[in-house]
Chains A and B, each alone.
Chain A
Amino acid sequence: MDERNIAEEIGEKIKEISIAEFFEKNRHLLGYENPTKSLLTVVKEAVDNSIDACLEARILPSIKVTVKEVKDNIFRVRVEDNGSGLPPEKIPIAFGKFLVGSKFYRLRQSAGTQGIGIKGAILYAQLTTGKPAKIITYYKNQKHEFELMIDVLKNEPKVISHKSENLQKNLHGITVELTVEGRYISKGQSIPTYLKYIWIANPYAEIIYDGPQENFKLERVSQELPPSPKEIKPHPYGVELGKFKRMIALTKARTVSSFLSSEFSRVSTQKALEICKLAKVDPNKKINELTEEEIEKLHKAMQSVKLMAPPTDCLSPLKEEFIVNALKKEFEPEFIAAVIRKPTVYRGYPFQVQVALAYGGKLAENQQNSILLRFANHTPLLYNQPDCAITRVVEEIDWRNYGLSQPSGSLPQAPLIIFVDLISVWIPYKSEGKQAIAEYPEIMKEIKLALQEAGRKLSLYLHKKWKREQLATRANIFESYSHVFSEFIAELTEKNVEYIKNKLLELIKKGVYKEGEEKKLKEEVIEVK
């Protein structure tokens, strides 16, 4: 289940059960199944939010994350950003009410989630420690500090306190502080790892971390923001029946044809009429008078009409040099190949793949196995690696073709970082959590092509390196082999080993091998009649 669907579901279920109950029942879907992962999810939701906020306001992000253990297994998490901040009157709704509505049908590439995200974290804090969330907004020379909770029965924000003061300087941004139950780890699927990875895919951000066991600063390697992703309307090919029905319930359009041409991408008035004709539905029929059967027919017709693919300029990939610089700084490899594919489409959703391979250098000191970094819309995926389409593709590729060793069906064995970022207005997550990407053939194909292209670049590099090393030590290699070779020839001919060896070494000294190599260049294959 996708988080946007979860948000919709929450909206529907609120009427029947409380949010608290829903959260309890579905916390595994939201990333709160155990204390370690929960603490990470809280940080992740806040940081994702901050990055989105800065990008939207076109501000180079500076984000400070503080995590402190205040009591046994109780942590205070504080995330400060320098985005545009929010007007104080919007804070309670933005942080204290689960939203439901048409906004879920707008499609836009973003790190965070549009429905639950930070509110889930606030609810988690409230349920585990009973502490309200502290939200500070710096907005138009004012600082407003709220303490708020979510009224889980009414789905309403409950403001506990609100203080404000005037500022001398023009500060902007939002700070979120939550007190939550959790368990802290510093390696593997941890907060430090998450912060480093999200920085790699967003290297125009500066991230400062002050954790319970370590602190570090990740400085930005680019002063340039990627272009703003654009919002697009859904394309008919990617709309499922349930979603179609909800869109009908929420639309402001009055007739069937105006609904189709105004709510969907690539549906002109003419195409709308074509769809109606195919479905045998009167295009001027009022939208709220459609029968169940007609809705289904329309939905079916919509899938079979020929339409242009959705626009793909709504995506915002990173510049190649940004990824290269970030990987260089974090891992200090000897070689990096980055590939950005052209945007394309699966099921009516535009998507794009960018990958990078970082090889050797400092990596060779610390690791023998490759590390796969998976990203969706520039946010790292740390869990469920084996179930992910990205992993499937990496394992399916025969890395031996690119000069690396690989136990069959697993990641290559090399000092290698494999970076894969899938960008889309709609990331198709597998059910349960949003940590594994579903295996759509179109997506897998693009990832494969990108990795293969990067692999070819790497293999070219490796080959050149190997050749350089070989040529430098050519005479040594010949000599080494000559020792055992002479023994074999001596056994076959029953002649003296030393005699043969000395003769051979003489040949090597004279450089006889050059001749052989030149001959070989002409590819000497002769046909014997």
Chain B
Amino acid sequence: MQLYLKPKKKEEILSTLKELGENILKNIENGENPSVEVPVRTLRNIKFDSKSRKIYLGGYVSKRYFLHLGEIRKFTQLTGVAALAKNLIKENKHVSLREAFYILKRNIPGLKKNIVDEQEESNRAIEDLELVINALREQLHFNANKLGAVAGNVVIRDRGDLIDWSKLGSGGWSVPSNVEDIEFVKVDANFVIYVEKSAVWERLHEDKVWKKLNCIIVASQGQATRGIRRLLQRLNYEFNLPIYVLTDFDPWGIYIYSVLKFGSIALAHISDRLAVPNAKFLGLTGDDIKNYGLEKHLIKFKDIDEKRLKQIREYEWFKNNKQWQRQFDIMEKMKAKAELEALAARGITFISEKYLPEKIKNEEFLD
């Protein structure tokens, strides 16, 4: 079975939430240990569809019991976010993940613990709930933070306001958690550059790269948020804009690309709505290090980097890809990483005026 989440109507979600509670109550009334089935979200249940080139979630489901020392906490948290979602939908209010955390953070009587002690716990409970009731986080009225920055010759309409991405000063437009209702009024660009670092985005923005190369530049800090990923997907699907990804040459950077392109392990259940299978990797590559003379600007690998490299090169979607295995070999041999900022050693605007135009013109991409 392939599990994908589809958008649902408000009433449908409310009745699913109620059903979740009723099933548990039925357990209790029947004298059974309350249980719920949660799809497994670890690597063993991650499948890769080589045709559509997307990660998806397999059909493994684990049964979680309430009266069980190892599970009672997560189980309680799951019902906690479910109850919160129900109230939010009814009152038509949206909360951030941070707010959701504080709403749930209450003492458990008789214990020195709160229902959630770290935001990671509530975030995870929300992700579990998405799977259990088959609805998206945003539809449950939980929003992530606005993040990242966008600039380009694009005009959009957001809650009735017209926003011109070319006239937003130095900061650009930051991408909300939910981009479903954004309407594109004008899109004048040949491609999109996604860069993993806001500092590098600022460099590109200051050098007016989006104007000179007629493109859209998008950034976030580290892993792209759901909002950004969905935005990239929409630009790709609706306007046929190629997506070029710019990251450091290290396992973490390449995984950022991997998530954008194939989907992530943690969110495999919504790859369909987030992944951009024809995204291309623009750099940095192992060859760039040689071609652009960055050998003296490498950072030595730590143990954790090496470990991560071993992991990702074994992922199904990289395993049989010769191009990528070659890059991993280079990395393994160097035992070092290269940062995008290292290009500044060749000149402040080197990345904007030489590196990017040259690589894009010569179509030096990795797929």
Contact = CB atoms under 8 A, between A and B. Distances in A.
B33 A474 contact: no
A517 B66 CA distance: 10
Given A489-B21, A529-B59, A513 B33 contact: yes
Given A480-B111, A525-B40, A512 B33 contact: yes
Which among A485, A524, A527 has the highest number of chain B CB atoms within 10 Å?
A485
Nearest to A502: B28
A484 B115 contact: yes
A396 B302 contact: yes
A216 interface: no
B317 interface: no
Nearest to A510: B31
Interface string A234-256: 00000000000000000000000
A365 interface: no
A484 B33 contact: no
Given A478-B67, A481-B108, A488-B76, A512 B25 contact: no
Interface in A61-101: none
Contacts of A477: 69, 72, 111
Contacts of B297: none
Given A507-B67, A525-B60, A516 B33 contact: yes
Interface-centre pick from A493, A494, A526 (highest chain B CB count, 10 A) = A493
A491 interface: yes
Interface in A284-299: none
A492 B111 contact: no
Nearest to B67: A513
A305 interface: no
Given A476-B110, A479-B110, A484-B106, A492 B69 contact: no
A507 B30 CA distance: 10
Interface string A42-63: 0000000000000000000000
B82 interface: yes
Interface in A476-529: 476-481, 483-485, 487-489, 491-495, 500, 503-504, 507-508, 510, 512-513, 515-517, 519-520, 524-529
A517 B86 CA distance: 30
A512 B80 contact: no
A443 to B, nearest CB: 14
A470 interface: yes
Interface in B45-84: 58-63, 65-73, 75-76, 79-80, 82-83
Nearest to B110: A480
Nearest to B111: A480
A492 B86 contact: yes
Contact of B61 (A492, A510, A515, A526): A526
Contacts of B86: 491-492
B interface, size bucket: 35 or more
A471 B70 CA distance: 11
Contacts of A491: 21, 83, 86-87
B59 A481 contact: no
A481 B108 CA distance: 6
A481 B73 contact: yes
A389 to B, nearest CB: 14
Contacts of A527: 58-61
Nearest to A525: B62
A485 B32 contact: no
B303 interface: yes
Given A525-B40, A526-B63, A529-B1, A484 B302 contact: no
A503 B31 CA distance: 8
B59 A488 contact: no
B160 interface: no
Contact of B109 (A480, A493, A507, A529): A480
A503 B28 contact: yes
B35 A516 contact: yes
Contact of A492 (B18, B65, B75): B18
A500 B35 contact: no
B22 interface: yes
B155 interface: no
A492 B14 CA distance: 9
Interface in A451-484: 470-471, 474, 476-481, 483-484
B82 A488 contact: yes
A523 to B, nearest CB: 8
Nearest to A520: B68
Nearest to B70: A520
Contacts of A487: 83
Contact of A493 (B22, B65, B71): B22
B24 interface: yes
B35 A493 contact: no
Nearest to B29: A503
A489 B65 CA distance: 15
Interface string B15-29: 001101110110011
B59 A516 contact: no
Nearest to B78: A488
B327 to A, nearest CB: 25
A518 to B, nearest CB: 10
Contacts of B68: 513, 516-517, 520
B83 A492 contact: yes
Contacts of B111: 477, 480-481
Contact of B108 (A484, A495, A516, A519): A484
B18 A493 contact: yes
Contacts of A494: 18
A484 B86 CA distance: 16
Contacts of B21: 488-489, 491-493
Contacts of A507: 28, 31, 33, 67
Interface string A417-454: 00000000000000000000000000000000000000
Nearest to B63: A524
Contacts of A528: 1, 59-61
Contacts of A478: 67, 72
Given A481-B76, A525-B40, A528-B1, A512 B83 contact: no
5 contacts: A471-B69, A492-B86, A493-B25, A513-B68, A520-B71
Question: Which 9 residue pairs are nearest across A and B when measured between Cβ atoms?
Answer: A492-B21, A513-B67, A516-B33, A516-B65, A488-B79, A491-B83, A480-B110, A493-B21, A488-B83
Interface of A: 396, 470-471, 474, 476-481, 483-485, 487-489, 491-495, 500, 503-504, 507-508, 510, 512-513, 515-517, 519-520, 524-529
Given A474-B69, A484-B80, A527-B58, 18 more contacts: A396-B304, A471-B69, A476-B110, A485-B66, A485-B75, A485-B76, A485-B79, A492-B82, A493-B18, A493-B25, A507-B67, A513-B68, A516-B33, A525-B60, A525-B61, A526-B62, A527-B60, A527-B61
